[in-house]
Amino acid sequence: MKAKLAALLVVAIAPVMAHHSFAAEFDGAKEVTISGKVLRVDWVNPHAALHIAVTNSDGKVEEWNCEMPPPGRLAHAGWRADMVKAGDQISVSGFLARNGAHIMWTQSVVFPDGSRISVRPAR
């Protein structure tokens, strides 16, 4: 019985423990813009994400994970699941991960035609 209760508690609290605040994971003072080719789009909860191939200053290609709000919030901001596709060249602006990994919290995306879309709804 105790084992079942412990397992139930782990399952119940795991999503809460896995979700961190912005300030815990990202540095609001380190804004960056990256440009590259979209490798894939994850249109999933709890966070959608764009995976971008970015060529660094040494000519090496790095994969960046550009995290975004969940699909429902993105839709409210004007996004559609098919807006960004693998192979698209885009620029992404946002805030760097505190741990130095190639992860950022996305604020906006600029498309080759110069159009920009934010992850936040217009007010």
- In a domain, residue 9? The reply is no
Q: Does pLDDT of 1 surpass 80? A: no
- In a domain, residue 13? The reply is no
pLDDT per residue over 32-53, tens digit each? Answer: 999 999 999 999 999 999 999 9
- In a domain, residue 17? The reply is no
Q: How confident is the model at residue 77 (pLDDT cuts 50, 70, 90)?
A: very high
- Check if the beta carbon of residue 62 is closer than 8 Å to that of residue 54: yes
Full domain range(s) for residue 100: 22-118
Say how many domains are in the chain: 1
Provide the CATH number for the domain around residue 88: 2.40.50.140
Q: Mean pLDDT for the chain?
A: 86
- In a domain, residue 77? The reply is yes
- Check if the beta carbon of residue 76 is closer than 8 Å to that of residue 69: no
- In a domain, residue 1? The reply is no
Maximal C-alpha separation, the chain: 61
